[in-house]
Amino acid sequence: MPKAALRKEKWTLSFDPLLKTLVVKAARRKGVYPVALLEELVRERFNPYGHTDVKDSAEYVATIRKHSLKQTDEEFLAEIRAWQKSRSS
């Protein structure tokens, strides 16, 4: 019995041409397809506390360390509380 062919959904997004050129330039700099760049941005936006899709762990830790130097202890604790509330709901 032949297998049913999987149909891939096709999406069409239309947005500002200036924004499109910026996305294409950023994708070229990173050496990825524009679609992959957009998918990465969406994943980051919907999963801001996730670490499962970290590509370069050393760069990720360095970024966190730089960010933590700019942040006060109170801001850090507030971020942890916000994260705990988001996970409990």
Q: pLDDT tens string for the chain (89 positions)?
A: 556 666 777 777 677 888 889 989 999 999 999 989 988 888 877 776 666 667 787 888 888 888 878 888 888 889 888 888 887 65
**76 within a domain of the structure (yes/no):** yes
Q: 59 and 35: one domain? A: no
Residue (of 38, 58, 60, 34) closest to 49 by Cα position: 60
Q: Report whether 42 contacts 50 (CB < 8 A).
A: no
What's the number of domains the chain is made of? 2
Domain containing 62 equals 55-89
Q: What's the rounded Cα separation, in Å, for the pair 35 and 68? A: 31
> How far is it, in rounded angstroms, from Cα 25 to Cα 77?
37
Q: Does 60 fall in a domain?
A: yes
Distance CA 37, CA 23 (A): 8
Please indicate, yes or no, if residue 84 is contained in any of the structural domains: yes
